[in-house]
A = this chain, B = another copy of it.
Amino acid sequence: MQQVFASIITIGDELLIGQVTDTNSPWMAQELNKTGIWLKRRVAVGDLKEEIVHALDEQSKDCQIIIMTGGLGPTADDITKQVLNDYFGGNMVTDQRTLEHIRYLFEKVYRRPIIQRNLEQADVPDVCTVLFNERGSAPGMWFERDGRVFVSLPGVPHEMKGLMLKEVLPRLQQHFTMPFISHRTLLTAGVGESFLAEMIKDWEAQLPPHIKLAYLPHYSMVRLRITGSGASKEKLENDLDQQFAQLKQLVAEHMVVDEDKPLQQVVGDLLKQRHKTMATAESCTGGYIAHLITSIAGSSDYFKGTVVSYANEVKENVLKVSHDTLIQDGAVSESTVRQMVQGALITLNTDFAVATSGIMGPGGGSETKPVGTVWIAAGNKDEIVTQLFHFRFDRARNIEMAAINALNLLRKFIASH
């Protein structure tokens, strides 16, 4: 059995002028990984024939699978389909099923007039297998040459995802015989990457060659992931279980969860197990904690709501923070976040609540409370815990850091009550 390597080529000038962030590639990499395909490289090129052809030539030298996204739109700057037709020596023909689907989408779903450019999206090279795209007008295309597979997909994320799951991954699994790949992931919080590395260096040094460790830091959290590959599923899973058990013991005091699960889901699962509810009272995080919580499907089982109290009058009128506290201690203070938790518990009628108040910058800082100062509180009707943080640098990062630390404080509080 041979290791199967893939390369992703993303096509589009928008990737090179920086107006879009490529969220497709990480998702595709994860899905390929799960089926035992290693991503060797990712390349982003512009909407230029010579660049696309050069990338195809280069990537097919040492990868058996080349997946392209983008450049399939109806506008003049989208040239991928024509380039592929030339590259594989085909002729353009109309795919009837796609043509009917385009007519259906415009008439019934988009309810927009259909124009020639849209109809032409049904034209495909006669040397490809058409991958029907039920979510959009541009079909996927599958080409084979010299034992390699070349797949072209639209860049629109939900169209790409639909095609990958329904068409591409099942076909790749049929086409190649692949080694078994498996992962174990755990999440830590409140400790740095280098400090963790020191804690586990002896364990890391004894890892067998078919198991690799990755450190995946994200704000104040670090995920540790071990990945193994092998011919026998049973032996590999067994090896991974043993190594993972050792790793968990070594980092036990900093571990949030021993799965690849976001913190907001860990909080949600804790609440579901206990049949409890939560609310957030957010000043500096501006609703971001609520957004993280509600990004999880089914969060309405345990999340009741939020008061974002950006203005002090909302802290007073809706969350019942005392006027005197706001005057004497200020909005960014321990007493304010305590009262915000109390107010949220009553106003939103929940078992637990978490609150934030801080200065996110770039303006608003002072000598005693510089930009990055954030008070966080979490609690229930009997007890409230607080924590003071000093973040730095940019606004977006401070919002993210404050939200993650608030969720982690809430998690620890729920777990111990």
Binding site for B on A (CB under 8 A): 13-23, 25-31, 33, 38-46, 51, 58, 73-77, 109-110, 112-113, 115, 117-118, 135, 156-158, 161-162, 192-195, 197-198, 201, 204, 212-218, 223, 225, 227, 280, 282, 286-291, 293-295, 297-300, 303-311, 313-314, 317-318, 347-349, 360-364, 392-397, 399
- Which residue of chain B has the shortest Cβ distance to A41 in the bound complex? B45
Chain B proximity of A15: nearest CB distance (Å): 7
- Which residue of chain B has the shortest Cβ distance to A30 in the bound complex? B18
Chain B proximity of A414: nearest CB distance (Å): 18
* A309 / chain B contacts, CB cutoff of 8 Å: 305
Interchain CA distance A218-B19 in the complex, whole Å: 10
- Which residue of chain B has the shortest Cβ distance to A10 in the bound complex? B42
B214 touches A77 (CB 8 A): yes
A41 touches B30 (CB 8 A): no
* A77 / chain B contacts, CB cutoff of 8 Å: 213-215
A305 touches B304 (CB 8 A): no
* A318 / chain B contacts, CB cutoff of 8 Å: 305, 307, 318, 347-348
* A31 / chain B contacts, CB cutoff of 8 Å: 18
For A193, A286, A300, A347, the residue with the greatest tally of chain B CB atoms inside 10 Å of its CB is: A286
Chain B proximity of A21: nearest CB distance (Å): 5
* A13 / chain B contacts, CB cutoff of 8 Å: 212, 214
B44 touches A51 (CB 8 A): no
A305 touches B308 (CB 8 A): yes
* A348 / chain B contacts, CB cutoff of 8 Å: 311, 314, 318
Interchain CA distance A28-B44 in the complex, whole Å: 14
Chain B proximity of A93: nearest CB distance (Å): 21
**22 A–B contacts, CB within 8 A, in A order:** A14-B214, A16-B29, A16-B38, A18-B26, A19-B225, A22-B26, A41-B44, A43-B43, A73-B215, A74-B194, A77-B214, A77-B215, A115-B195, A135-B393, A157-B397, A287-B306, A288-B291, A291-B399, A305-B318, A306-B307, A317-B347, A318-B348
